[in-house]
Chain A
Amino acid sequence: VTVTPVTSTLSTTPPRAHASIPEPSFLSIAASHPQPRAARPLRRYHFHAPGLVYIIVTLFIAIGAINSQNNLLFSALGLAIGGLLVSGLLSGGALMGLRLNRSAPTHLPLGQPLEITYQLRNSGRLVPAFGIHLMELSSHPELTAAPEVNWPAFFPPPRAFAVQVPPRGVADAVATVIPRRRGRLTFGPIYAWTTFPFGLVKKSVTLAIPQSTLIHPPILPLRSGLLRQLISRAPMGNNADRNPGMGDEFFGLREYVPGDSLRRIAWKRSARTGDLVVRQNAMPAPQRLWIVLRLVAPGSRVPAGASETSRLNERAIALAASLLSAASAAEIAVGLAIPGVAPVGDPMRAAAAGMAAPRLGRPHLERLLNELAMLDADTLHRGAAAGFPDAAARSGACAIIDAAGPDPSFGPPHALRFAASEAERMLEDSEVVRRTLALFDLAPALPPRRHWRTALRAFIRAAGGSA
């Protein structure tokens, strides 16, 4: 399974709805993502090795019984055949009334365990379902309409197990996995099977339930004092908002209304106009922090090969996400600029591409994290387009995270520069941080092993035959 590169852009486009992400996302990829739809479940019986051995033993018993006319062997033969039939009936009956659903978080920071909860509902009145195995499939030859599925790039096949689902009851089975990379992970068909009661016959149900989860970059704890150091380097002034409030900066004048304090009356102006006018102060503006993320574009000169480029970019993105999260938690308005991000579609929005002005609030932070989650360094522009954004130089503190290493010529002098290779210097010295950063050193996940029948069909298809 290959992960198709996705492009993203920072824009002010109204968010579009997505089934698995309830809050609006401004990511353009969301528009092209298919909506989940119910599909007809595929039910199959599989005969596997234990069943084959069982049948061979049953045949031997049959031969022994016929040859010897030993009635106990005849009854043993009856028991063996009865066992086979009861096995098929029980497992088939259990899965016949089984309804499946998947529940996964809409987003999650990288490094945190992802709990995929499978909700099983047994609509049968009599037959309980036991021993239900649940697996994610990357594809299924008979489910042609399945959307692009990319979870194998994130983690090895997750497995869950439900011990029982009583008749007319529900049960949850949880698979816990740890994603190895950020981005939008999409799920595809769910494969539920059971060999209960005797392990002779395997009965399966495959159901396509498309769903996705956005894996944010890891949110790691910063070293203490780092945020204070950043804010302290912000240029003085420009601390007022454009709205009236209770700050110290002058905002404007307005007519007196009963109830206004006499102390706020602008006497000179009132004397000049003849009407009582009161002074209004501006609302105190939050501290602002611009985070400029400078990634290594493809084709650029890098200290090492492509894997090193990717590793540095990922560390830079992780650092940016951690800074954004920590600053937002400290009531600092955070903005993000990523020089070189390609605009998508509308050329009129090119000027604003790759930038999000500092703002407060959780929705804003999540939008930024979503953007970082979907950021693809392979689509970065090189050359002039990758210059320092002017808006970031004008106000607030500025942190430049450079994947390739600090460049003093890039950005204003008051900006604080960080190199991705020295991320540990900015982050708390802890085992969690070390292990999370080590995720970027891992080799990409291998695609899961295919079922032999699937592989055979693929081979026949490739050879020009029909499977």
Chain B
Amino acid sequence: MNLNRAYQRCALALAVLGILSYATAARQTASGAPGLLVWALPALCTGWYLSARRSFTLPRAAVNALLTGALGYAILRAISGMDVSTVAELVIFLLVIKVGDRRSPRDDGQIISLSVFLAISAMLTGNSLLVGVQLMVFLPLLVATVMLFQLQSGWLAAHGEAAAPSAGPPVSPVPLPSPRWADTAVPGLASLLRRTVVVSSLGILAFSFLVFVILPRGVGENFLGPIGHVVRLGTVTAFTDTVALGDRGVISDNPEVVFTAEFLQEGGENIGSLDMTYYLRGAVLDKYSRETHTWSASTVNKNVDPRVITGPDRMPVGVLERNSPLASSSSTQLIEQVIRIPQVPNSPIHLFGLWHPVTIEIPRQGTAKVNYTDAVVESAGSAGPFTYRVKSTIAPLASNDAARRTPTSFPSPPVHDLAARILSDAKLDPDPEQRPVSDDARGARMIQEYLRTKYSYTLTEYAAPYGEDPIEHFLFVSKAGHCEYFASAMVALCRAVGINARMVTGYIAAEFNSATGQYVVRQSNAHAWVEAEAGAGFWQRYDPTPPSDLARLHRPAPGIFTRLRQMLDAAEFTWNQSVVGFDEHARERLLAPTARPGDALATRLESFAARVRFGGSRLVFTALARGMVTFALVAITGFGFSFLLSIVRKRRPARARRADPRPLRFYSNLLTLLRRRGQAKPLWRPPLAHVSTLSDPELALGAEALTRLYYRARFGQQPPTALELAQARAMLRKLGR
């Protein structure tokens, strides 16, 4: 095992992995994350190649100039706002500069330390599964690199790389052997070191697991403010509580998971399925500005109740329908939604739930703002993974005053005319004064159907001319748009004929992962739809977006990639549940003295049995089919890999026959040198015989010495010593000149 080569490879891999893990963690928040990969990785690899292979180091002046530049950049970034990304980018700069300035083992130690700091920065920036996997790879690599570094620095300290004779007089009477670290090979070291790395890594992981489980959670939280909080706070979710027509709005094609949702019937039965789609509302936008063409939430006449949640445990925060008998009724059929967000910021966020929410449970400390009028909740608390539960009723609620409607209008004559025509076609009176309140729901449905059938869905923006209302432009000119236009148009049409309507933004849960029983909600599932009032306080959901387009956009097409993505999602879900979301409750469950080891397994078995019972044989066959497909895929991949490996192994001996083993590489280099000088050795001629044919006396002398060394090593079973190899290299260099 050549220690130097092994160390160089491990250290380079460690630095690359440090940058990669940080870039992975920062890919959502830091705009420069992809840029890091573009410039930092090539710079790092080039610097490493030059320093390791060519012994090139940057001049001191250049190093100082680069360091000054990096510090200046960091200071400028810090002035505009100091966070982990500022420090991490400075670390990356330092790492790249340091790679070009490797002069001593101390520099190598600094490179390892900087890589570790990058890994810690990655932990502080993101906690996705990918980051976790990279850090899991980082650990054994770090262990191996540090061990090799210890051996390297120790060796250099003892032998002083070509200057051993700090232990001798300044001028030694006889030449001392000066072994080189780069040539140091220790037989049998590889397997021992590999074993030690594996055992150490496992030991560290075991200790880590113990510490992870034993340390109590929730103690001392936020005692120093925001220090250590994860930067990737899930702020970019594609969800928005303000829709400006003409802007991007809720439209996103980002497949990043925002949260997972589980839908349970009373009794705990999971009612999720591949065919079901749920609308999870987050914000209600009932105010439209004709100047800015923006939908937002009005604050006038809203029943908003700010609350402070002080208890560390989960607690109910209130019944949305305060006066509704549903809150205490046990006969109402309720659906419980368990929403798991991997990471939330400590700023207020909207909580999502099905219409019509009844209760909501928030387990974290902080504040909550419950809007009883719109039935939406905003919550603020500590950052981190966050799980909350919402109970909603799926039965339509009866209106408190079915004969009364809220007066409303939309000041646009063409919109009014269109709405009136739609209602007239449906034999409904467009005049709200003449039309009974009970027909409002039918009128809204007619408008929904009209939009679904007469308008087409597109993500291409047809910008309205300056001064023209985008809703009118959509309704009468472009007749194509995305969900925001459909929802805006429906609200405008409804209001134009006196039906109170409002836009709702949130997410569509359409991607069911049967492996976890969860719906995976991505940024691309952000959506806007409509709620219309049929009687005072009797709001019903309508979605004017064409259903086929909706399904195409929000429900993944079946296929192998979808399956793979679902598997990854399942892994991510497990990661979030067991690692990122590990809290005091989970800790207590794990360490509970009464818990028996078989309990968890029994629970899982029961859950599986219930799923089989409810899902029937179809679920079993589906699971079997998937298992077989997965097995086949794994088997094919394994066979393919083995096949490739066998090809590589078959070729390797052939290459080995052609090329000499490494200690005898100097002879290959000699042959290359002779070939370049036009005196290539024919295959049939013995080496020494060929040397005798060389005309240049200096070349002949050198070649003879090297050939004899080769003979001795090849046939005399006396491998050349490090000193002889060094001399051979020096002679080759001399002959090459």
Contacts and interface: CB of A to CB of B under 8 A. Distances in A.
B198 interface: no
Given A178-B173, A196-B151, A63 B224 contact: yes
Nearest to B159: A161
B219 interface: yes
Contacts of B174: 111-113, 178, 432
B215 A163 contact: no
A79 B155 contact: no
A66 B219 contact: yes
Nearest to A81: B211
A29 interface: no
B267 interface: no
Contacts of A113: 168, 172, 174, 176
B215 A74 contact: yes
A438 B218 CA distance: 73
Contacts of A432: 173-174
Contacts of B688: none
A73 B212 CA distance: 9
A194 B151 CA distance: 10
Interface string B149-178: 111011101110000111111111110110
B146 A166 contact: no
Given A196-B151, A432-B174, A86 B215 contact: no
Contact of B172 (A70, A77, A178): A178
Nearest to B165: A178
Interface string B188-206: 1100110010001001111
A427 interface: no
B127 to A, nearest CB: 5
Contacts of B229: 67-68, 70
Contact of B227 (A68, A157, A178, A197): A68
Contacts of B131: 72
A159 B228 CA distance: 44
Contact of A82 (B164, B207, B384, B581): B207
B3 A163 contact: yes
Contact of B150 (A64, A130, A166, A439): A130
A253 interface: no
B276 interface: no
Nearest to B586: A71
A176 B158 CA distance: 10
B204 A79 contact: yes
B509 interface: no
Interface string A41-61: 000000000000000000001
Nearest to B383: A68
Counting chain A CB atoms within 10 Å of each CB, which of B146, B173, B581 scores highest? Answer: B173
Contacts of A68: 221-222, 226-230, 383-384
Given A61-B120, A128-B192, A75 B207 contact: no
A197 B150 contact: yes
Contact of A198 (B150, B173, B228): B150
Given A67-B221, A130-B196, A439-B173, A86 B227 contact: no
Contact of A176 (B3, B120, B168, B582): B168
A104 to B, nearest CB: 14
Interface string A423-464: 000000000100110110010000000000000000000000
A81 B153 CA distance: 24
Contacts of B384: 68-70
A78 B383 CA distance: 21
B382 interface: yes
Residues of B in contact with A, size category: 35 or more
Interface string A145-179: 00000000001111111011010000001011110
A74 B211 contact: yes
A159 B204 contact: no
A82 B227 contact: no
A161 B158 contact: yes
Contacts of B147: 130, 196-198
A122 to B, nearest CB: 11
B124 interface: yes
Contacts of B143: 197-198
B38 interface: no
Contacts of B208: 75, 78-79, 81-82
Interface in B114-138: 120, 123-124, 127, 131-132, 135
B535 to A, nearest CB: 46
B579 interface: yes
Contacts of A199: 109, 146, 149-150, 153
Contact of B127 (A71, A85, A157, A173): A71
A70 B192 contact: no
Interface string B374-385: 000000001111
A65 B151 CA distance: 33
B132 A72 contact: yes
Interface in A176-212: 176-178, 180, 194-199
Contacts of B385: 71
Interface string B548-579: 00000000000000000000000000000001
Nearest to A72: B123
Given A71-B580, A85-B207, A113-B168, A133 B158 contact: yes
B170 to A, nearest CB: 8
A289 interface: no
Contacts of B150: 130-131, 195-199
A111 B173 contact: yes
Interface string B571-600: 000000001111000000000000000000
Contacts of B227: 63-64, 67-68
A76 interface: yes
Interface in B434-469: none
A177 B168 contact: yes
A438 B192 CA distance: 47
Interface in A79-119: 79, 81-83, 85-86, 89-90, 111-113
A131 B196 CA distance: 13
Contact of B157 (A90, A111, A159): A159
B186 interface: yes
Given A64-B124, A71-B579, A197-B200, A178 B176 contact: yes
B139 interface: yes
A458 to B, nearest CB: 25
Contacts of B3: 163
B624 to A, nearest CB: 36
A118 to B, nearest CB: 11
B217 interface: yes
Contact of A66 (B165, B177, B223): B223
A67 B223 contact: yes
A86 B207 contact: yes
Contacts of A161: 154-155, 157-159
B413 interface: no
A243 B217 CA distance: 101
A78 B203 CA distance: 11
A131 B186 CA distance: 12
Counting chain A CB atoms within 10 Å of each CB, which of B158, B218, B224 scores highest? Answer: B158
A78 B230 contact: no
Given A71-B579, A112-B174, A198-B150, A90 B200 contact: yes
B123 A86 contact: no
11 contacts: A68-B222, A68-B229, A70-B124, A70-B127, A72-B230, A79-B139, A86-B207, A111-B174, A130-B193, A178-B168, A442-B170
Given A70-B123, A199-B149, 13 more contacts: A64-B228, A67-B221, A69-B382, A79-B139, A82-B211, A83-B204, A113-B176, A128-B196, A156-B167, A161-B155, A161-B159, A164-B188, A198-B147
Interface of A: 61, 63-79, 81-83, 85-86, 89-90, 111-113, 128, 130-131, 133, 155-161, 163-164, 166, 173, 175-178, 180, 194-199, 218, 432, 435-436, 438-439, 442
**Smallest CB-CB A-B distances: 4 pairs:** A82-B207, A64-B228, A78-B208, A78-B211
